[in-house]
Amino acid sequence: MKLQRFENASEFYERVKDYLLNQEAMHNLLLGIADTLIHHPERYKFQPYLALVEIDRNIVAVAIRTPPYDLVLSQSKNLDAVKAIAQDLYLISASISAVNAPIIESEAFAQAWCSLTGQSYQLKMAMRAFQLEQVHHISQAPGYLRLATNSDQELLLRWFEAFCLEAVGKVESDPQAWINHHLQQQAVYLWQDEVTVSMASRGQLTPHGVRINLVYTPPEYRGKGYASACLAELSQKLLDQGHKYCFLFTDLANPTTNHIYQLIGYRPVADWHNYCFIS
């Protein structure tokens, strides 16, 4: 078994892309981060941890961490490879606050990491990855999809912070930097009724698809079908632009959104666990 680290994101991607693309939906987060590291390296302020593990020259695990964000692991053909990643991170004195991976791999890493550090771990979020290839017709909520503009900055800042607090309990990144980048990339879309009522964003790219994130509706506008309409319209727009797939992650603690997404045409492909580490 051999673990190899990379300094260059393009070189790393060339080595791991075939392994990750064997299950593109499963690995859309890793593929998207790699794409961002190559095409928008300014989004990450610190040197990333990029590693693969091989057995007999066959890749069996892939790891990416872009500090201060969580470690992300691929599905692995050998859980000893996951343990090797934990040992390597421990040897280089990495500070890991959480791991995000398919269920088996996430738990294997958490156990290995805590045996090395003496920490404990707890489940922060149970998630499900979804993939869409064709949008199903749903009842249309009143309003229309529009591209967010600079005039929406104040609203976007409030909604981004509210989304983060609701989803993970804290605002994890610089909200203004996120807004500036996504407005520049023309990636944020809003559902407009008599007032603006819902938001969704085009996220990171994979070779054949795109992830949608930040699907958010303020509490006072929920239950009216706005988020469903916004997501369905944005998904169709992205397919029309040439993407074969749309991906998204859901919080399994929210059965309503999981049901709604499947009505639109999203099908579940994998369950992920996010474990945080406690000293």
Measure the CA angle with vertex 69, ends 65 and 73; round to 5°.
40
What pLDDT is attached to residue 181? 86
The mean predicted confidence, pLDDT, of the chain is 94
Q: Look at the pTM and tell me if it is higher than 0.85.
A: yes
* DSSP 8-state symbol, 152: G
The CATH class given to the 2-127 domain equals alpha beta
Question: DSSP string covering 196-242, please?
Answer: EEEEEEEEEE-SSEEEEEEEE--GGGTTSSHHHHHHHHHHHHHHHTT
Question: DSSP string covering 42-59, please?
Answer: GG--SPPEEEEEEETTEE
Residue that wins the pLDDT comparison between 194 and 140:
194
Distance CA 234, CA 217 (A): 15
Q: To the nearest whole percent, how much of the chain has pLDDT over 70?
A: 100
92-96 contacts: CB < 8 A, separation 24 or more? 94/49, 94/65, 95/67, 96/65, 96/71, 96/277
pLDDT, tens digit (0-9, with 9 covering 90-100), for 153-210? 999 999 999 998 888 777 767 888 889 988 999 999 999 999 999 999 999 999 999 9
Pairing of strands 245-251, 120-132: antiparallel
Residue 226's contacts (CB-CB under 8 Å, 6 or more residues apart) are 141, 143, 191, 193, 197, 198, 217
Counting Cα atoms < 13 Å in the Cβ hemisphere of 7 gives 0
Distance CA 221, CA 224 (A): 7
Pairing of strands 58-65, 49-55: antiparallel
- pLDDT beyond 90 at 233: yes
CATH topology (fold) of 134-243: Aminopeptidase (3.40.630)
What pLDDT is attached to residue 13? 98
As a whole number, mean pLDDT of residues 119-124 equals 97
Distance CA 207, CA 170 (A): 31
What pLDDT is attached to residue 100? 98
| pLDDT-based confidence at residue 59 (cuts at 50, 70, 90) | very high
What pLDDT is attached to residue 36? 94
* Ranges of CATH 3.40.630.30 domains, the chain: 134-243
Which tokens sit at 124? Answer: 């922060």
